[in-house]
């Protein structure tokens, strides 16, 4: 499989006349604490630090028009104006929020990075990765948080790791058997304890956790966990009251009722499981375009993780108005790999879920990356 070589960059703030200015230029380090920069003709990387970061003066991309032929890109604070966020320009025009309020996780299936990102069969998804961000070496749940092997797994174990923060050898969900459940803690339970809403948006009727009621129902992680009443037929269980049709997502977005955490699960005829990459790409465009054009997304406090479940390195697109367009997270020397553990760690940090679940505290955080650093 092809791998791309990129040049690393760190973005440092420079303050002048009470305004934040960050400049990306030819890769030159002037002195300690000064700018480290890269030509716009290169692909910038943004560090993904293992520890939780903070933002004191978030930056806004004002224009990319000066960036042609390797010229500089200038960033200034939001007080200077900023660009317009929509489905055409979904990233790089507004500062990171003081507090993230919403995380949307859209899940697709069974593809490796090079078969989607940059493929002519996926023009929308590849374009979105260029407009926002992506990472070419994302590991699935076959790998423990430190990158060592845990086993060879398929779909359900990956969804469980993504929502529990432990490996399949720990949570025990090692195959796609619908009836298998686990007692491990998970993001849904933690959010519920914190008084924050979470929903699974599924391409079925919703509220039917006791049965496999849509193609790919075994992907619905909310149904795995006994502390959520997973697979109980009782209508009052957490699973049956928080598992809803996928059509409800735009209703919730447009009505101002988007949950803190949304797990979005298309059917196997939409998510590339049983269909060509091109079919999934078209579905993703139809689905994501109105979200990116919504007032909710434009408000700047909603992050979207577009992920695939398995086949390391998995495709992924990282989307938020504060992400530097075309950027890629990169790791500090000696860090554990970016993986499903990293995604869950970042979800928890964004939404204030403590303590961190399972092994996620050992995974690199993507919070600084989403904050535009």
Which pLDDT does position 6 carry in this prediction?
A: 38
User: How does residue 58 score in pLDDT terms, banded at 50, 70 and 90?
Assistant: very low
What is the pTM for the complete model shown?
0.80
At 207 the pLDDT is 72
| Domain enclosing residue 218, as ranges | 86-370
Is 80 exceeded by the pLDDT of residue 177? yes
For residue 55, pLDDT over 90 is answered with: no
Reply yes or no on whether the pLDDT at 150 is more than 80. Answer: yes
Q: Is residue 102 part of a domain?
A: yes
Residues paired with residue 278 on neighbouring β-strands, in sequence order: none
How many domains in the chain?
A: 1
Predicted local distance difference test score (pLDDT) of residue 93: 79
Task: Give residue 83's pLDDT band: very low, low, confident or very high (50, 70, 90).
Answer: low
Give every CB contact of residue 363 below 8 A, 6+ residues apart in sequence. Answer: 50, 145, 336, 338, 339, 341, 342, 344, 345
Write out the DSSP string of 34-76: S-----TTSPPEEEE-SS----SS--EEEESGGGGGG--EEEE
C-alpha span between 147 and 210 (Å, rounded): 35
Q: Tell me which residue of 183, 49, 143 sits closest to 341, measured CA to CA.
A: 143
Mean pLDDT of the region 11-20: 34
Does residue 50 belong to any structural domain of this protein? no
Residue 373: its pLDDT value, please?
A: 85
Tens digit of pLDDT for each residue in 320-351? Answer: 999 999 999 989 999 999 999 999 999 999 99
Q: Which of 10-24, 95-109, 225-239: highest mean pLDDT?
A: 95-109
What is the pLDDT, as a whole number, of residue 213? 87
Compute the average pLDDT of residues 2-27: 35
Task: State the chain's maximal CA–CA distance in angstroms.
Answer: 64
Q: Average the pLDDT over 177-204 and give the result.
A: 95
* The predicted structure's pLDDT at residue 193: 96
* Residue 291: inside a domain: yes
Q: State the CATH number of the domain containing residue 271.
A: 3.40.720.10
Q: Which phi and psi (to 5°) does residue 325 adopt?
A: -55, 135
Residue 326 inside a domain? The answer is yes
In a domain, 31, yes or no: no
| 170 in a structural domain | yes
Confidence (pLDDT) at 149: 98
Separation between Cα atoms, residue 208 and residue 336, nearest integer Å:
38
Query: Could you tell me if residue 354 is inside a domain?
Result: yes
3-class secondary-structure state, position 23: strand
Lowest mean pLDDT among 50-64, 259-273, 287-301: 50-64
From CA 83, how far away is CA 131, in angstroms rounded? 14
Mean pLDDT of all residues belonging to the chain: 82
65 contact partners, CB below 8 Å, separation of at least 6: none
Residue 307 resides in a domain: yes
């Amino acid at each position: 499989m092809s791998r791309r070589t990129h040049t690393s960059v760190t973005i440092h703030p420079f303050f002048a006349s009470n305004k934040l200015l960050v400049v990306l230029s030819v890769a030159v380090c002037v002195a300690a604490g000064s700018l480290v920069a890269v030509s716009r003709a290169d692909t910038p990387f943004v560090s993904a630090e293992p520890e939780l970061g903070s933002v004191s003066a978030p930056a806004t991309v004002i224009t990319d028009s000066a960036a042609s032929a390797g010229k500089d890109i200038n960033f200034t604070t939001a007080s200077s104006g900023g660009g317009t966020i929509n489905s055409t320009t979904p990233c790089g025009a507004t500062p990171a929020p003081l507090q993230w309020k919403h995380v949307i996780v859209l899940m697709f299936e069974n593809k490796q990075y090079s078969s989607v990102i940059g493929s002519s069969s996926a023009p929308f998804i590849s374009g979105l990765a260029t407009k926002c961000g992506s990472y070419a070496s994302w590991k699935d749940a076959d790998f423990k948080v430190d990158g060592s092997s845990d086993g060879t797994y398929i779909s359900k174990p990956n969804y469980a790791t993504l929502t529990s923060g432990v490996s399949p050898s720990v949570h025990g969900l090692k195959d796609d058997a619908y009836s298998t459940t686990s007692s491990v803690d998970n993001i849904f339970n933690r959010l519920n304890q914190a008084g924050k809403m979470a929903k699974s948006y599924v391409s079925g009727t919703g509220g039917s956790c006791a049965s496999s009621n849509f193609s790919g129902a075994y992907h619905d992680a909310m149904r795995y966990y006994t502390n959520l009443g997973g697979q109980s037929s009782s209508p009052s269980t957490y699973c049956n009251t928080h598992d809803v049709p996928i059509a409800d997502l735009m209703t919730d977005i447009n009505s101002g009722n988007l949950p803190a955490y949304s797990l979005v699960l298309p059917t196997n005829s939409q998510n590339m499981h049983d269909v060509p990459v091109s079919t999934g790409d078209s579905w993703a465009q139809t689905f994501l375009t109105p979200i990116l054009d919504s007032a909710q997304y434009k408000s700047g406090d909603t992050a979207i993780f577009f992920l695939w479940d398995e086949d390391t390195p998995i495709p992924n697109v990282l989307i938020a108005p504060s992400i530097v367009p075309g950027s890629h997270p990169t790791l500090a020397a000696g860090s554990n790999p970016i993986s499903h553990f990293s995604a869950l760690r970042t979800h928890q940090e964004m939404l204030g879920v403590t303590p961190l679940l399972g092994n996620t505290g050992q995974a690199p955080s993507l919070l600084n990356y989403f904050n535009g650093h």
